[in-house]
Amino acid sequence: MNRNLIHGLMVTLLLISSAYAVKVGEPAPDFQATDSNGQMHKLSSEHGKFVVLEWHNNGCPYTRKHYESGNMQRLQKDWTSKGVVWFTVISSAPGQQGYVTGQQENEYLKQMNASPTAAVLDPQGEVGRLYSAKTTPHMFIINPAGVLIYDGAIDDKATTEQADIAGAKNYVSQALEEAAAGKPVGMPTSRPYGCSVKYAH
Amino acid sequence: MLNRSCIRWPGVFFACAVWLVIPVFGFPKNPADEHVQLELISEQNAVVPGKELWFGIRIDLQDGWHTYWTNPGDSGEAARIDWHLPAGYEAGAIQWPYPERLSTPPFADYGYQHQVLLMVPVRPPAGLKEGQTQKIGALVRYLVCREVCIPGRKELELSLPVQTHAASESRELFEATRSRLPRPVPPSWRISATSRGDEFLLNLRIGKLDKEPEFFPLEAEQIENAAPQEATAIPGGIRLHLKKSKYLLKPASRLKGVIVISPGGGYLLDVPVLQSGRDYTQTRH
């Protein structure tokens, strides 16, 4: 049977089941995807660790705000050094802004001095749609038990200006600090801000 | 910091190179300028001491491009204005015309295409002298998007004389925009909202309507922006079914937004949400 057809059916099923599939306080849906080095990653294999998902588009001015300032790289470094798994997820479709091949992404990571655990390539938008990722950036945190504990913005300053980062409250760090200390996350959701994710039409 | 990032990344390097040539060639055009034009305009041709007048930022967008409402919806950002006014002036808030829903399933934004006027009321001080010239400045920060988004920043300026009487200049555009500003609801309308399961039921007892109304939430994280707003008939009006946002973790106590009916225009709603107990417990699992 036609592989594309099967693939299309699977995506459709995923889409149907994904309405409200992601909710803070509930198990984060599992996914499997390939990174920029061709390595396969499965969310459920990271059981026992905190996992951060960062939706990314290197051409989006909101993403650029956090990379050209070094803010995202700092977060990646700080949290991965503490054992957190950080997946940068790229759901831009081929031909759309932010779409990259594995090699292009590796060059970008090197140039930007970025160090996520892996940059996951999701050109079909399956992982993005599974999580209803709306914007770049859009951040999710999954706790060691596999439960989603944060879904929202990177911080409380919804602008493209780097100058706003210094005075911003970083929701991701705040949630990770609270959760790591065994406390409930005070701000479990916020409105994600940024460019729309450039999904395949 | 600047130097290091200049070396590290070609895009930044290019930006730095541009920055270096500014003194020679003048300021480069903002990339957004290709797709949008902004102008600061005044409704009156003069400032009358102590008398409120209206300024507006007119935004003209290239076909296919849009900019955002005060609640941008699932992505984007509303424009911001920093006024540079002579001493004693007071500027009010932007009066946002009701937007249109810009749908890119599974998401939706709220914004404007083609042209929008962001009107702001300004009160000059009473002690101005006739014949003085008043320099009005505005720094506008905005975002325009098509498939891609470009942030823009524009310094705008306008000079007006002080006179005892003023005539209207751009009256048509200001009047057309006024007709799109949300108004208070007429006293005869009966409006209520109930929380039921994963929906808000907005009951609009406002008489017969030719077309189904549309609700635009003023606050983010209230409803699913892209969900269809199903309308059903109720005695004396219509009920809109609004799907709750998944970001709404706590029950909403009020529903704030603009209801747009045709013909008629936009009306400002701010109604308490009645919790339907039985159904509410259902949503808590």
CB B69, CB B78: distance < 8 Å: yes
Separation between Cα atoms, residue A166 and residue B52, nearest integer Å = 38
Residue B24: what pLDDT? Answer: 43
pLDDT of residue B30: 79
CA distances from B233 to B204, B227, B230, B236, B259 (A): 10, 19, 10, 8, 16
ipTM of the complex: 0.78
Q: In chain B, what is the straight-line distance between the N-terminal and C-terminal CA atoms, in Å?
A: 51
User: Are the beta carbons of B106 and A129 separated by less than 8 Å?
Assistant: yes
**What integer best gives the mean pLDDT of chain B?**
87
Task: Give the pLDDT mean for B59-87.
Answer: 96
Interval A39-98: pLDDT, tens: 999 999 999 999 999 999 999 999 999 999 999 999 999 999 999 999 999 999 999 999
Identify which of B276, B285, B270, B281 has the alpha carbon closest to the alpha carbon of residue B222.
Answer: B270
Record: contact B149-A96, CB cut-off 8 A: no
Comparing CA positions, the residue from B141, B168, B165 lying closest to residue B153 is B141
Higher pLDDT, B3 or A109: A109
Confirm or reject contact between B148 and chain A (CB < 8 A).
yes
Asked if the model's pLDDT at residue B14 lies above 70, the reply is no
What is the CA A167 to chain-centroid distance, rounded?
A: 23
∠B108-B110-B111 over CA atoms, to 5°? 130
CB contact under 8 A, B149 and A61: yes
Q: Is the pLDDT of residue B172 over 60?
A: yes
Q: What is the mean pLDDT of chain A?
A: 91
Of A159, A160, A198, the CB nearest to B147: A198
Q: Which of A70, A189, A195 sits opposite B247 (nearest CB)?
A: A189
Residue B95 has φ and ψ, to the nearest 5°, of -95, 105
Band the pLDDT of A118: cuts 50, 70, 90. Answer: very high
Pairwise CB contact (< 8 Å): B151 & A195: no
- SS3 category, A15: helix
Contacts of A160 in chain B (CB under 8 A): 77, 143, 151
Contact A181, B211 (CB under 8 A): no
Q: Do A194 and B246 touch (CB under 8 A)?
A: no
Size of chain A, expressed as the number of residues it contains: 201
Q: How far is CA B165 from CA A127, B42, B76, B161, in A?
A: 63, 15, 41, 11
Convert the pLDDT of each residue in B236-249 to its tens digit.
Answer: 999 999 999 988 76
Average pLDDT over residues A168-181: 98
Q: For testing the chain A interface, which of B71, B74, B139, B198 should be mutated: the one with the most A CBs within 10 Å?
A: B74
Q: Hey, is the C-beta of A185 within 8 angstroms of any chain B C-beta?
A: no
Handedness of CA B20, B21, B24, B26 (dihedral sign): negative
CA–CA min distance B160, chain A (Å): 32
Put simply, whether B19 touches A (Cβ < 8 Å) is no
Q: State residue A21's pLDDT score.
A: 60
Tell which wins on pLDDT, A42 or B28: A42
As a whole number, mean pLDDT of residues A87-112 equals 97
H or E stretch at A171? helix A171-180
Interface check for A99 against chain B (CB to CB < 8 A): the answer is: no
Q: What is the pLDDT of residues B224-238, one digit of tens each?
A: 999 999 999 999 999
Neighboring chain A residues of B249 at a CB cutoff of 8 Å: 24, 188-189
How many angstroms separate the Cα of B202 from the Cα of each of A132, A173, B82, B215, B247? 26, 38, 36, 9, 19
| Residue B236 to residue B240: CA distance in whole angstroms | 13
pTM: 0.83
